[in-house]
Amino acid sequence: MLQPAHEYYAVLQRDYATRIRQLVPKYDELVRCTVDALRQRSPRTVLDIGSGDGSMSQVVLEALPEVRLTAVDASPAMSAEAGRQLERFGKRATVVRADILHFEPEEPFDAVFSNLVLHNIPFPEKRQLLGTIAGRLRDGGLFLWGDLIRHPDPVVQRRLVSERRAFALSEGCPEDIVEWNFRKESGDDYPFTTVKAAEALKRAGFARADLVWQHDTFALFLAEAH
């Protein structure tokens, strides 16, 4: 992960549960859609790419009592917090501090999810990573990819960003964090449009890639490995 993102996530981690809901208006709905889709498939092994402070991993571990989950995150601050939050699950949860681009699991997974992470990764590396994810899933395995997206029409994109900025400020997010977040999104992040994301999933070798949820500049894709 690049240095500016490391610094940003170290700051965000301090009040993560509050900040993420100010910066991502329908965060809880996005998480719920992902967890519901996982629950319908009853996977036994799950990988959480970019687990942050581990709060979403916890929801998954609680919703699917049979699951063994691996939570990978590159940020030392986030990963340390995930370690604390997931300790109570014992052997069901493994926390790994690693850049996902260099993570080498020993076994394939039944399902992989990644929420609000892959926009940090430049396009060529991201396309390659999608191929790696497809290859690390068992046949028929599920990949749930929730992420920041960019609207293809710049006028619409500007309106969506300005609405999100107003929402974050009205919810009490400090101005410096709001500025930092939107500077990062417009300069240091690599969000696909929904069309490009679906194409990238298909090219990566997924048999199916569907857009299953979308709100302002966020979307969730459900992709199935062969």
For residue 47, the minimal CB distance to ligand SAM (Å) is: 11
102 versus 154: smaller Cβ distance to ligand SAM? 102
Contact with ligand SAM (CB under 6 A): which of 20, 35, 69, 133? 20
20 versus 133: smaller Cβ distance to ligand SAM? 20
Contact with ligand SAM (CB under 6 A): which of 78, 149, 168, 222? 78
For residue 34, the minimal CB distance to ligand SAM (Å) is: 9
Contact with ligand SAM (CB under 6 A): which of 70, 85, 120, 217? 120
Name the residue with tokens 């981690």.
13
**Interaction of residue 99 with ligand SAM, rule CB under 6 A:** yes
Please give the full DSSP string across 96-149, using - where no structure is assigned: EE--GGG---SS-EEEEEEES-GGGS-HHHHHHHHHHHHHHEEEEEEEEEEEE-
Degrees, nearest 5: CA angle 144-218-162: 170
**Interaction of residue 61 with ligand SAM, rule CB under 6 A:** no
Integer Cα distance of 223 and 213 in angstroms: 13
Give the distance from CA 132 to its chain's centroid.
Answer: 16
**Interaction of residue 9 with ligand SAM, rule CB under 6 A:** yes
Beta-strand pair 68-73/93-97: parallel
Where does this chain bind ligand SAM (CB under 6 A)? 1, 5, 9, 20, 50-52, 55-56, 72-75, 78, 99-101, 115-117, 120-121
